[in-house]
Amino acid sequence: MIERTHLRILRELERKGSVTAAADALNLTQSALSHTVKKLESMIGGPLWVKDGRGVRLTQAGHYLLKEAKRVLPQLERIDETLLQFAQHEQGSLNIGMECHPCYQWLLKVVSPFLSQFPNVDLDVKQSFQFGGMAALFNHDIDLLVTPDPLHRPGVTFEPVFSYELVLVVGATHPLHSLNHVEPQALVNEVLLTYPVDVDRLDIFQQFLLPANCRPKKHKTLEATEILLQMVASNRGVTALPRWLVEQTADTLPIRPLRLGQEGIYKHIHLGRRDDDQNSPLVQSFFDIAKSITF
């Protein structure tokens, strides 16, 4: 029933003081404005204003509509402006989901040039999902999913953007520190520190320990990478992290990376996006920057 034109008429009528001046401000003829108002009045069952000398006086319905016009029109105008900025790629938002705890240092290297390229675009990173990262992607809660373990489903495309080696991290004075690589049996008497992730999603278990029917003496979880590495440096346990992350920290902490098995375990960070977003300039630019990052 109510259209933006009706709200603008009431606003201009208050600003200009007469129906004729309001019509001029809206680039309408007086008859066109009057016709629009009479049509609305017939729908609401009463007048919006009455003549008062040379001017008009708003009715109760007119005052109410004017109050709402002052509230609603600025919001609609901001929406118009924002949508125009979206179309011109001057504004927007990009929500990134993370299923890779140790990937934040890598992500920071991607985020910095992205924000420089899109100064008016908001960026948010989410790590907690009610029903998992894939559900968040399908439900449009996030625009991109960062994961080392992509689940390929129709409607979503994953691309590898960064490769890394998963290594065992031990303290510099740990009994294993002098080895070039470790076998699964070497961890049966160790305290294994990991992020708080289900065991079936931890590569150190799924690709290294469990295939050899081995388990650590104890398994503890920690949220923060910095605390996890401090614990390892203090010989309070061992952990598995990307080699590049360990090498970045080895200058400040007494830790050492060891290859997992003779062949090592190699992984990729993948970026996932919905297929209907493949032409999004924001998404594509993030992909391009992510592929260019090296350590």
Distance from C-alpha of 241 to C-alpha of 4, rounded to nearest angstrom: 57
Domains within the chain, CATH numbers bracketed = 4-87 (1.10.10.10), 91-161+269-292 (3.40.190.10), 164-267 (3.40.190.10)
With tokens 């049996």, the residue in question is 185
Closest among 106, 100, 98 to 124, alpha carbons compared: 98
Please give the pLDDT value at position 278: 84
- Is residue 19 within 8 A of residue 33, CB to CB? The reply is yes
Residues 85 and 26: beta-carbon distance below 8 Å: no
What pLDDT does residue 177 have? 95
Task: Band the pLDDT of 101: cuts 50, 70, 90.
Answer: confident
Q: Which two three-digit tokens encode residue 135?
A: 């559900």
Its sign, for the CA torsion 109, 147, 290, 169, is positive
In the three-class reduction of DSSP (H, G, I as helix; E, B as strand; rest coil), residue 46 is classed as coil
Question: Which residues are registered as beta bridge partners of 162?
Answer: 269
295: pLDDT strictly greater than 90: no
pLDDT digits (tens, 9 = 90+) for 215-265: 999 999 998 999 999 999 999 999 999 999 999 898 899 999 999 999 999
74-84 b/e (C-beta count within 10 Å ≥ 16 → b)? eeeeeeeeeee
**How distant is the alpha carbon of residue 17 from its chain centre?**
48
Tokens 């968040």 belong to residue = 136
Using DSSP's 3-state secondary structure scheme, residue 259 falls into strand
Please give the Cα distance from 228 to 269 (Å, whole number): 21
> Residue-wise over 123-141: b if at least 16 C-beta within 10 A, else e?
bebeeebeeebbebbeeee
pTM more than 0.75: no
Residue 9 · residue 37 · CB < 8 Å? yes
Going by C-alpha positions, the residue among 114, 92, 158, 123 that lies closest to residue 293 is 114
**119-131 confidence digits (pLDDT tens):** 888 899 988 765 6
Distance CA 188, CA 165 (A): 22
Q: Is the predicted pLDDT of residue 90 greater than 70, yes or no?
A: no
For residues 33 and 23, give the distance between their C-alpha atoms in angstroms, rounded to a whole number. 6
Count CB atoms within 10 A of the CB of residue 112: 12
pLDDT tier for residue 89 given thresholds of 50, 70 and 90? low
DSSP symbols for 195-217: -S--GGG-HIIIIIIGGGT---S
As a three-state string, the secondary structure of 72-123 is HHHHHHHHHHHHHHHHCCCCEEEEEEECCHHHHHHHHHHHHHHHHHCCCEEE
Which is more confidently placed, 118 or 7?
A: 7
Q: Which amino acid is at 76?
A: L
Please give the pLDDT value at position 30.
95
Would you say residue 50 has pLDDT above 90? yes
